[in-house]
Amino acid sequence: MTKLGNDFENFKTWDKENYFHPWEGLKVQGAGKADRTFSEYAEGIYVYDEHGNKVIDGPGGMWCMQLGYGNAEIADAMAAQARKMAYCSPFSEATSVSAEFAHAIAERAPGDLNRVYFTTGGSTAVDTAIRFVHFRNNLLGKPAKKRIITRAHAYHGGTYLTASLSGKPSERQWFDTDQVLPHFLPDVNAFRRPAGMSIEAFLDEKVADLENAILELGADNAAAFIAEPVLGSGGVIVPPAGYHKRCLEVCRKHDVLYISDEVVTGFGRLGHWFASEELFGITPDIITCAKGLTSGYAPMGAAIFSDRLFKDIEGDVSKDVYFTSGYTYSGHPVCAAAGLKNIEIFERDGILEHVRKVTPHFQKRLHQMLELPLIVDVRGMGLVGCIECSLTREGQASAGIDATIGAVIDARCQELGLMVRPYGNMAIFSPPLVITEAQIDDMFDMLTEGVQRATRELLEQGLELEQERA
Ligand code: PLP
């Protein structure tokens, strides 16, 4: 990969002046805006930046590049579909590739989750799930049953509704969010449980939080509980074992629907098509997914509904009623072609089996990171991992300073050839699923060196590390 030419400066200018990015820093708005690194070429797990540097894509795009970059089979399938039938209105027509993809997803989804509603991404999948829950309760004559129970540090998307259900403080600042529908449960992160509390007691408390919330809202008002099986961008929080099952039991007891947001955990990230049933033993009422659905090659999401949810609203109850919600690009044929090819490759190449095979090595290397004095906690499952750093044992005392640690680690790792996803005092990893054990070693070797360099830098700034580590 050669360096990009001089005319590249134009793109830099246009990016600053004309491209209003997600997560835009406004303090240097306009032409003076901070430089973003350009990436123009990628292959497998590697991205080549504007200087020609080869960088491991630690975040796997945004947890989506399951099969890695440069997959010619997916590109060809998309091109062929674009030539054959580039678009088909999902409101009034049907086309074979989208029907086949819906069937392929339903076949792999747990239980009777057979109704696949295609969307443009994860946010619109969650949005649709909530709109359906409300629509259904209206049809059932339960207009008050609308409240949605969600959790601290959850991320469910960037639309008004899904952002309102998200509990990451960084993404709520300066925005308005709906204050009526959501009800937030406290943190399920066992790392932050009170000193001396056992995991069992913590689990009991977390399940009780849900039941108490339903009782407080009233079962006539509580419509659904939404939960990522593993809270992803909120810091890879794995709830205590048994949590999901017990929460589902509580939901069933009070006639509250369970929405499992598998936008991150679905499509192989944890070694299964979906994690809900295979790893956590639950068959939720609705699953939302996106990202890995097309391995990031095309924007697409899906809300998958249980047949059961339709039983009591079909027929006479809903005569002449239409679910009048949808997107121009729902079930887009080119995206569906990418998704179908994605599934075919997953099965032919044994991608789920591969993830299950390399996971122990990935998690072993992740857990070894805890030996570094800057790191106070590591969390992960499947091919997802997070390191949490702090200058103090609790990770609280110097919150202001801690918030910059992720950015320092990111900068040092980038120099070494590893892209990480910084989040405050954390760095998160979700590499392409095709990563080999040797590449996992490269990744964690660079991360170790990057954290050590970052630590030295922070110490040089006069910050002190607590010596004692539990
Ligand atoms: N739900 C979860 C769990 C996510 O992690 C995300 C995105 O990261 C979303 C929903 C939103 O997906 P999208 O960005 O495709 O709209």
CATH number at residue 328: 3.40.640.10
Q: How far is CA 26 from the centre of its chain?
A: 25
pLDDT (0 to 100) of residue 391: 78
Whether ligand 1 lies within 6 angstroms of the CB of 233 is answered as: yes
Of 247, 236, 233, 155, nearest in space to 189 by CA: 236
DSSP three-state, residue 184: strand
3 state DSSP class of 264:
coil
Over residues 325-349, the pLDDT tens digits come to: 999 999 999 999 999 999 999 999 9
Among residues 224, 227, 186, the alpha carbon closest in space to that of 208 is found at: 186
Structural domain ending residue among the three candidates 298, 321, 348: 348
Q: In sequence order, what are the beta bridge partners of 381? A: 384
CB neighbours of 433 closer than 8 A, spacing ≥ 6? 60, 66, 67, 68, 268, 269, 292, 351, 354, 355, 383
Q: Is the CB of 261 inside a 6 Å radius of any atom of ligand 1? A: yes
Same domain, 108 and 200: yes
Which of 119, 155, 168, 274 gets mutated to test ligand 1 (max ligand atoms within 8 A of its CB)? 155
pLDDT at 6: 58
Q: Is 155 in the pocket of ligand 1 (CB under 6 A)?
A: yes
Residues 6+ apart with CB under 8 A from 187: 151, 152, 153, 237
Indicate whether residue 228 lines ligand 1 (CB < 6 A).
yes
Residue 371 CB-density burial (10 A; 0-12 exposed, 13-18 middle, 19+ buried): exposed
- Note whether 134 and 237 are same-domain residues: yes
Cα(4)–Cα(12) distance, rounded to whole angstroms?
12
**Are 289 and 424 in a shared domain?**
no
Plot region of 111 (φ>0 → left; ψ -120 to 50 → alpha; else → beta) = left
**pLDDT score of 467:** 47
Give me the interface pTM, i.e. the ipTM: 0.99
Domain shared by 286 and 233, yes or no: yes
User: Ligand 1 center to residue 156 CA distance, Å?
Assistant: 5
Domain count, the chain: 2
Taking CA atoms only, the protein residue closest to ligand 1 atom 1 is 156
Q: Which of 23, 124, 170, 264 to mutate to test the pocket of ligand 1 (most atoms within 8 A of CB)?
A: 264
Q: What are phi and psi of 179, to 5 degrees?
A: -105, -5
Are 295 and 433 found together in one domain? Answer: no
Please give the number of the atom of ligand 1 that sits closest to the Cα of 154: 3
**344 and 362, same structural domain?**
no
Q: Are 50 and 105 in a shared domain? A: no
Please say which residue of 295, 319, 348 terminates a domain. 348
Report the atom number in ligand 1 closest to the C-alpha of 299. 15
Domain shared by 221 and 359, yes or no: no
Are residues 98 and 113 both part of a single domain? Answer: yes
The Cα 424–Cα 20 span in angstroms is 22
Residue at 468 is within a domain: no
Both 411 and 429 in a single domain? yes
Q: How far is the CA of 296 from the centre of ligand 1 (A)?
A: 12
Which pair of tokens denotes residue 203? 């689990």
pLDDT tens, N- to C-terminus, the chain (470 residues) = 555 565 788 998 898 889 999 988 876 555 456 678 899 999 999 999 888 999 999 999 999 999 999 999 999 999 999 999 999 999 999 999 999 999 999 999 999 999 999 999 999 999 999 999 999 999 999 999 999 999 999 999 999 999 999 999 888 889 999 999 999 999 999 999 999 999 999 999 999 999 999 999 999 999 999 999 999 999 999 999 999 999 999 999 999 999 999 999 999 999 999 999 999 999 999 999 999 999 999 999 999 999 999 999 998 877 889 999 999 999 999 999 999 999 999 999 999 999 999 999 999 999 999 999 999 999 999 999 999 998 765 554 445 567 778 889 999 999 999 999 888 899 999 999 999 999 999 999 999 999 999 999 988 876 666 544 43
Q: Is the CB of 408 under 6 A from ligand 1?
A: no
Expressed as residue numbers, the domain containing 344 is 72-348
pTM for this predicted structure: 0.95
On whether residue 375 sits in a domain, the answer given is yes
In the listed set 348, 370, 393, which residue is the last one of a domain according to the structure? 348
**pLDDT score recorded for residue 17:** 86
What angle do helix axes 437-460 and 399-416 make, rounded to 10 degrees?
Answer: 130
Distance from Cα 160 to the centre of ligand 1, integer Å: 13
> Is the CB of residue 161 below 6 angstroms from any atom belonging to ligand 1?
no
Atom of ligand 1 nearest to the CA of 124: 16
On whether both 155 and 262 belong to a single domain, the answer is: yes
Distance CA 458, CA 371 (A): 18
Same domain, 56 and 136: no
Q: Which two tokens stand for residue 125?
A: 């999948």
- Nearest CA residue ID for atom 13, ligand 1: 122
CA separation for the pair 38, 2 (Å, rounded)? 14
